[in-house]
Amino acid sequence: MTQQVKRAFKYRFYPTDEQAAELSRTFGCVRLVYNKALEERTRAWYGEQRRISYVQSSAALTEWKKTAELAFLSDVSSVPLQQALRHLQTGFGNFFAKRAKYPRYKSRKKSRASAEYTRSAFTWRDGRLTLAKMTESLDIRWSRPLPERPLPEGAEPTTVTVSRDSAGRWFVSMLVEDTIAPAPATNAAVGLDAGITSLVTLSTGEKIANPRHERRDRARLAKAQRELSRKAKGSSNRTKARVKAARVHARIADRRRDFLHKLSTRLVRENQTVVIEDLAVRNLLKNGRLARAISDAAWMDLRMMLEYKCAWYGRELVVIDRWFPSSKLCRSCGTVREKLPLNVREWTCECGTVHDRDVNAARNILAAGLAASACGDGVRPQRESSRTGQSSMKQETQRATAGIPHL
């Protein structure tokens, strides 16, 4: 059964000098309006315990444009400025709902330079995009065109976001309503064990090597950072050196994202059920010896891709509890080993079974995920049972490895 989803298509474009100047002004105005509205709302909240709504912020924006100091806000399209206020409203909504921290100010040097245009502020005709306050269409490079069209057949963008990254590259992201058909059904299921040496180990026994994109470009990145540190602050040479370093970072991020997209797409296409662990990556990054390698692996990016692709193509993604002892559990007898240091990659159980640490973990994750999916609950450690005197964890893991749901 097909479903309608909102899907973004991101392309690189090359603006003319006039377009680049107009967009740069727009980015600056968006940042100014966002920060000024945040300042007003912060003053009202902490000084008077009073909330300011989006309607009030929008009315204030109209008054700002009438002042001599901020009259230049009328020189750019009003839509990106209004969208900045809407984004701020969303940020405060998440804050008051305790889903996020208090909104922060946008920095000229560190924040992402972007502007969002809704349908009334751009023209889409015959595959050409023209933004408000511009006479020429954008020179977009259709790097991944679909059959005969850069967007799905019959789809038109509802929102366009223009951005410029720290490497000086310009991008346009077009949000469209797309129809996605579910992938052909299959009986295959796979468990994934994330790692560093092997980025992912599958329950089938296959190990997908970690490309280590950051390590491959580490020498180039170190050289660019050294050159940057030697330039005088505020000089044009420092700006050029900063862009060079940003390009190395962008190259690493692009290659990592491309690899994860291909891997996640393959896993979703080949399997009806995908089982992963609920890893606490933020806590794992506190390990100073492994933090760099864990960041380079980007496990959370892979999980995010699996989540929305499974939802798109009618697959099931099962996330088991992070405390499930997948590596220390023997699949043959259900015994849980007390300690298993990271340097032990292969171990032998009391029953004589020899386990590859990663493959054993992936297979236990799959069994636990299938059991959890059958009973509609997660696999979590429990305290010792006072009635039987046996650890409920051992009972749970034995059921999981046997494929029997815990009822």
Phi, psi for residue 403 in degrees, rounded to 5 = 80, 15
Q: CA dihedral in degrees (116, 121, 126, 127; nearest 10)?
A: -10
**Contacts (Cβ under 8 Å, ≥6 apart) of 65:** 71, 73, 74
Q: Which SS3 state, helix, strand or coil, does residue 12 take?
A: strand
DSSP state of 235: S
* Strand duo 316-320 + 273-277: pairing: parallel
Structure tokens at 90: 């969303």
Asked if 193 is an active-site residue, the reply is yes
**C-beta of residue 310 within 8 angstroms of C-beta of residue 304:** no
DSSP state of 99: S
**Rounded distance, CA 83 to CA 77, Å?**
11
The one catalytic residue among 116, 277, 296, 396? 277
Structure tokens at 117: 């245009």
The type of residue at 368 is: A
The one catalytic residue among 193, 214, 296, 396? 193
Tell me the helix, strand and coil percentages in the chain, rounded to 5.
Answer: 45, 20, 35
**Contacts (Cβ under 8 Å, ≥6 apart) of 348:** 354, 355
**C-beta of residue 333 within 8 angstroms of C-beta of residue 350:** yes
Q: Which SS3 state, helix, strand or coil, does residue 108 take?
A: coil
Asked if 270 is an active-site residue, the reply is no
The one catalytic residue among 22, 116, 296, 358? 358
Distance of CA 75 to the CA centre of its chain: 34
Q: CA dihedral in degrees (336, 342, 348, 353; nearest 10)?
A: 70
Asked if 396 is an active-site residue, the reply is no
79: exposed, middle or buried (C-beta count within 10 Å: 0-12, 13-18, 19+)? buried
Q: Where are the beta strands (DSSP E) in 96-185?
A: 113-118, 122-125, 128-131, 140-141, 159-164, 170-180
**Rounded distance, CA 218 to CA 293, Å?**
12
Give the residue among 334, 342, 186 at the shortest CA–CA distance from 266. 186
| Active site members | 193, 277, 358
